[in-house]
Structure 1
Amino acid sequence: MHQSTLTGRSVDVLLRPAPHAMVWSGVGQPHDQLAVPGVSLAPGDVLVEIELATVCGSDLHTVRGDRGAATPLVLGHEQIGRVVALGENARTAVGVPLALGDRIVWTVTVSCGLCDRCRAGLTQKCRTLAKYGHDRVHRGWELSGGFATHVHVLAGSPIVIVDDAIPAEVAAPASCATATVAAALAAASAVVPLKGATILVSGAGLLGLTACAMATDAGASVIVTDPDPARRRRALAFGAAAVADPLAASASPTGLAAVSGGMIAAGADEVSIALELSGAPAAVRTTIDTVGVGGVVILVGSVSPGASVPLDPESIVRRLITIRGVHNYTATDLERAVTYLAGAWRRHPFAELVGERFALHDLDAALERAAKGHDVRVGIDPRLADSNGNPAE
């Protein structure tokens, strides 16, 4: 468990009605409600009332058993809410004191800021890392995930204030999808400038659509591949210069190179940046094989166990390519994500990406809906009455 390094007294908070969270106990098990009448806020901690949470693909991986998880736990790590109680010296990521009523998002990870990894800038891999929506529920941190009426945000979680003008359905995914894409593009741009680049984006879920919009707005030309024709059409609304079916012959490395040279950036004859956001092993192989000389491949989607991918080291060496993994993100990436969304949601249809909304007590039905893949994101709104007509508490 991460411990606050700030000094000061704790603040005990009692709310009526009591905050509650939906607790998952394992594969095939329904969620149970856990009431948390009292919360003790250490220095730097914040209690947040949730406005909206969204179901991320990693939540689905967990409930399906695709990857291990310590149970019981409160899932959910994409959410936005308002501050209802503060520990001493609670501040944003840039040091601004927080106030009651502030609308905020926060990082998915809680870091100590002192270990060798944190000092090296790898805060998302802190030696004493805690993660919202991933850690086992325990006494003192019961409100540890977004599928709850409130979240206990721990000191060591960089916080960013969100303008009221940004719709909740746009802002909630900032703490996962948008910030992760910001991290991926920052990693790519350290090797190849985004402006004028021809970028291959593999996967047109929320990560892929966000990457398409962010890269296009940065001056890149983007090719998006996805086997779902509806997703490919949606990518065009987020700025894609071209789309392709990865299962078609034209989506082979040779075919994609021809698309990039013939349709995309003037003077470009190859993909210089490839972002793999789907996690499909075949897509990983295609992105590595497609990127041109001096290019960079950023792997993001492979966050659960899957088949190994064969590599041709000679080809990698001769093409002088860089392959890098990006997992989670830093405070700076979250700040960039929120800043980007403040203007981008008016240019691109981010607000349309959250489909059906469910009450918190209907979480199991929401997860079933999300698993069908009809919506890019499914929303969880604790303020809604449940399917039985019971009002939100």
Structure 2
Amino acid sequence: MPSAFLQIFDGPGKPFRAVEQPLPNELMDGEVLVKIELASICGSDLHTISGVRKGPTPTVLGHEGVGRIVGLGNKRSGLTIGDRVTWTLADSCGVCNPCQEHRLPEKCRSLFKYGHAAVTDGSGLSGCYASHIFLRAGTHVVRVPDHLSDMVMVPANCALATMVNVVGSIPEKTKSVVIQGGGLLGLYGCALLRERGVEQIFCVDVRPERLSKVPAFGGIPVDGRPEHYPEARARILESADGGVDAVLEVAGVAALVPEGVQLLRAGGFYGFVGMVHPNSALTLTGEQVIRKCLTIRGFHNYSPWHLDQAVQFLSDTVAKYPYESLVRPPLPLSCLEEAVKLAQTQEWFRVSVRTEF
């Protein structure tokens, strides 16, 4: 019987455990079995591995991936065996109030998140650090155009789709934006905002090697190191006529929020994206928000239609922006421990793993 290769995570401080398990014999209506061609290590995975973020164990981590369909249940129109695909990082029911009334399927009452579930919850093939992943019937699956390489596509179903959600929610007449964080979310944000026609896109980070990538994605690099930032800050405020229209926090650092509030004009928009961990208590008063008439909104993941838009965005702009340079060439999945250590150095925006070469 064909089997799948999995890397099991048993908890912080414990090594990954390589196991094999049989593939499903049959698939029910709407279910899809995908052979993973490439997976990448997201920052949230690193938080789980380090213990900053709590999750059930044992588990198969990983939710960023691209692969080919090798098994398909009935009632999946538009898909065939052999299709190259990506998928939403969560499965939703489509009928509860969050799914239907609130248009927030990412907050479905019966949500199942890939890469965050115990191996005992369902098939066990629920994460991307494996040779195969079993997609439930409520998971949105998107075909990938042939001209988009695995390296371009692999983070799309997390980082890019999330930023599509974020950028699509900022006020329509936004002309100036500060992005706090020059990681993958920040660079995707620069490209999305540039294509939207935003005139001034300032991307702040403290790492020069990250800032060096910002112009290629349509942004203006801003050195956030203490010895350089005051002068850069003054230029932002001068060019934005005293305050920017929007600030997007994608660094996951709560200490940046007071500065973000200061950079906003009256009536500005603040999007919280990166602080998805417990170490995110804010130093912020209601008075600061009220007196500036600010709108603050949190973004956690995305809806299925955002993934459709993300794939289309890559298809339309792949010749314009160097997406492939953001992902390190893959290591074998059997070397996942080494890949995690490389990801923890933050030398690359994403480190990828492949089951076979």
Q: Are residue 31 (structure 1) and residue 16 (structure 2) matched?
A: yes
- In structure 2, the residue matched to 1:336 is 309
What are the residue-to-residue correspondences of 1:273-284 with 2, within 5 Å? 273-284=246-257
The AA in structure 2 aligned to 1:126 is: C
List alignment gaps of at least 5 residues for structure 1: 1-13, 92-96, 385-393
Higher alpha-carbon deviation: 281-290 or 130-139: 281-290
- CA distance in 2 between partners of 1:270 and 1:291 (Å): 5
Deviation at 1:315, TM superposition (A): 2.9
- CA distance in 1 between partners of 2:111 and 2:146 (Å): 31
- In structure 1, the residue matched to 2:38 is 52
Do the aligned partners of residues 110 and 186 (structure 1) sit closer, same or farther apart at CA in structure 2, a change above 3 Å counting? same
TM-score normalised by the chain length of structure 1: 0.86
The two structures, once aligned, show a CA RMSD in angstroms of 1.7
Deviation at 1:74, TM superposition (A): 0.4
Deviation at 1:141, TM superposition (A): 1.6
- In structure 2, the residue matched to 1:136 is 118
- CA distance in 1 between partners of 2:306 and 2:356 (Å): 30
Q: Are residue 106 (structure 1) and residue 91 (structure 2) matched?
A: no
- In structure 2, the residue matched to 1:231 is 210
Deviation at 1:139, TM superposition (A): 6.1
Aligned with 1:35: secondary structure?
strand
- CA distance in 2 between partners of 1:302 and 1:362 (Å): 29
Question: Which of residues 199, 202, 205 is equivalent to 2:183?
Answer: 205
Deviation at 1:314, TM superposition (A): 2.4
The AA in structure 1 aligned to 2:246 is: I
Question: Which of residues 334, 341, 364 is equivalent to 2:337?
Answer: 364
Aligned with 2:318: secondary structure?
helix
Deviations 1:290-347 (A, max 9, x none): 1112210000000111142122322322222100000010011111111101122211
- CA distance in 2 between partners of 1:209 and 1:322 (Å): 23
Deviation at 1:357, TM superposition (A): 1.6
- CA distance in 1 between partners of 2:151 and 2:215 (Å): 20
Deviations 1:227-249 (A, max 9, x none): 00111111111111x22222336
Do the aligned partners of residues 139 and 204 (structure 1) sit closer, same or farther apart at CA in structure 2, a change above 3 Å counting? closer
Q: Are residue 150 (structure 1) and residue 129 (structure 2) matched?
A: no
The AA in structure 1 aligned to 2:180 is: S
- In structure 2, the residue matched to 1:185 is 167
Q: Are residue 22 (structure 1) and residue 46 (structure 2) matched?
A: no
Check whether the contact 1:257–1:269 (CA below 8 A) recurs between aligned residues: no
Deviation at 1:383, TM superposition (A): 1.2
The AA in structure 1 aligned to 2:15 is: P
Aligned with 1:187: secondary structure?
coil
- CA distance in 1 between partners of 2:313 and 2:237 (Å): 26
- CA distance in 1 between partners of 2:186 and 2:162 (Å): 11
Check whether the contact 1:192–1:273 (CA below 8 A) recurs between aligned residues: no
- CA distance in 2 between partners of 1:246 and 1:100 (Å): 48
Q: Are residue 355 (structure 1) and residue 328 (structure 2) matched?
A: yes
Deviation at 1:185, TM superposition (A): 0.8
The AA in structure 1 aligned to 2:103 is: G
- In structure 2, the residue matched to 1:261 is 238
- CA distance in 2 between partners of 1:362 and 1:156 (Å): 32
Check whether the contact 2:248–2:273 (CA below 8 A) recurs between aligned residues: yes
Do the aligned partners of residues 187 and 289 (structure 1) sit closer, same or farther apart at CA in structure 2, a change above 3 Å counting? same
Check whether the contact 1:192–1:296 (CA below 8 A) recurs between aligned residues: no
- CA distance in 1 between partners of 2:265 and 2:27 (Å): 51
- CA distance in 2 between partners of 1:226 and 1:139 (Å): 39
- CA distance in 2 between partners of 1:38 and 1:380 (Å): 21
Check whether the contact 1:192–1:295 (CA below 8 A) recurs between aligned residues: no
- CA distance in 2 between partners of 1:307 and 1:350 (Å): 30
- CA distance in 2 between partners of 1:217 and 1:251 (Å): 27
State the aligned residue count: 354
The AA in structure 2 aligned to 1:101 is: G
